[in-house]
Structure 1
């Protein structure tokens, strides 16, 4: 891929803007030598304004999503993309969330531009476990764990029961719930189905990947070993 197209696809600017950056000598190799538009330099050795280029296709990010942000670029108000560098919003291929968290749910949210990886994570066959911590409106009655683990719980307006889920009790109104599928507003609807209400909800873990070292509103680029944790 030509240098201009490569850098433009990473979101650093239009092709015209990248051509101008090359003419001004802002695109260099690691030794500081200005690169021409037809340079054959390896991706990892190219600098833009003295900084290494973002990764090519296959980039994976983990965001610790705060409350009040939505995942769809079609929504109004604050978007999760507002927490990332502006150029990430215009990368080609597009940088997409792997699944979603609603506006009132915080915690672990993955992004990638690798379509195969995205579908691998969200595939029902993968059954990637996702762990949530919830604060409930009313104390537990003691039957919830058995109901959720039964594989027989049916949500309103659905015709297929939920897969078994594991409930760990933190205290009377705080729980940790592990899901192996991802239906619309699933945690909230599960508790509604048994007569309770979720006041606060955070996703703390995807597979074995947790939020260690990632403060609320912050994000990090994942390594191959990090991504492997998603699958166990």
Structure 2
């Protein structure tokens, strides 16, 4: 792939704008030598204004989503893409969220431009566990863990019962819930079905990948080792 197309696909600008970057000497190799559009240079050796080029297509990153942000590109309010470099929104293939967290839910969110990887993560056949921490409005009544694990709980307007889920009662009003599916507002609806209300909700882990102390609003690119841990048993 020609350098102009490569850099444009990574969101640094239109092809015309990237061509202007070459003319201005902004594109160099790792040693600071100015590059030209027809040069053949390994991806990892390309620099833009002295900074390494973003990863190529196949990017996977984790974001600690704060409360108040939506997983959308069109919402009028704050969106998760506001927390990333602006050029990430312009990448081709597009960088998409892997599933969603609603505006009032915080925690681990994955984003990728790899459609096959996205499908593998969200597919019910993968059975990738997702761990949520919830603060409840009322004490647990005592039978929620058994009910959630039974695989018989039906949510309003649903036609199929939920898959078994594991509930850990940390405190009477603070729980960890592990799901292997991702229905709309599932955690909140599960507790509503047993007469309770979720006051706050946080996703702490997907598969074998925890947030690991990543501060709210921060992100990092996942490497091959991270990807292996993602699909490993927690």
Q: Normalising to structure 1: TM-score of the pair?
A: 0.99
**Take 1:142 and 1:83, find their aligned partners in 2: how far apart are those partners?**
40
Q: Measure how far apart 1:71 and its partner are.
A: 0.3
Aligned to 2:167: 167
| 3-state SS in 2 of match to 1:135 | strand
Give 4+ residue runs of structure 1 displaced > 3 Å after superposition: none
Aligned to 1:118: 118
Please report how far the alpha carbon of residue 42 of structure 1 lies from its aligned counterpart in structure 2 after TM superposition. 0.9
The aligned counterpart of 2:80 is 80
Tell me whether 1:217 sits opposite 2:225 in the alignment: no
Using the TM superposition, name which of 172-181 and 206-215 deviates more. Answer: 206-215
- Note the C-alpha offset of 1:72: 1.2
Equivalents in 2 of 1:170, 1:21: separation in Å? Answer: 55
Aligned-partner SS, 2:152 = coil
TM-score of the superposition, structure 2-length normalised?
A: 0.98
Q: Gaps (5+ residues) in structure 2?
A: none
Q: Deviations over 1:1-37 (max 9, x none)?
A: 1100100110111111110110111101111111111
Q: Deviations over 1:111-157 (max 9, x none)?
A: 00011100000011001000000000000011000000000000000
Task: Report deviation, 1:227.
Answer: 1.5
- Please show how residues 1-232 of structure 1 align to structure 2 within 5 Å: 1-232=1-232
Q: How many residues align?
A: 232
The alpha carbon displacement at 1:73 in A equals 1.0
The structural deviation recorded for 1:225 is 0.9
Distance 1:67 1:139 in 2: 24
Q: C-alpha distance in 1, partners of 2:76/2:187?
A: 24
Give the C-alpha shift of residue 74 in structure 1: 2.0
Encode CA deviations 1:34-60: one digit per residue, 9 max, x unaligned.
Answer: 111111111111111101100001111
Distance in 2 between the 1:164 and 1:228 partners?
A: 25
Residue 87 of structure 1 aligns to a residue in which SS?
A: helix
Task: Name the SS for the 2:228 alignment partner.
Answer: helix
- How far apart in 2 are the matches of 1:185 and 1:225? 31
- Give, in angstroms, the shift of residue 75 of structure 1: 1.7
Distance in structure 2 (CA, Å) of the matches to 1:185 and 1:76: 21
Q: Counterpart of 2:126 in 1: which secondary structure?
A: coil
Q: Deviations over 1:176-204 (max 9, x none)?
A: 00000000000000000111110000000
- Compute the displacement of 1:213 (Å): 3.4
Q: For each residue in 1:154-174, what CA deviation from the matched residue of structure 2 results, as whole angstroms up to 9, or x when unmatched?
A: 000011000000000110000
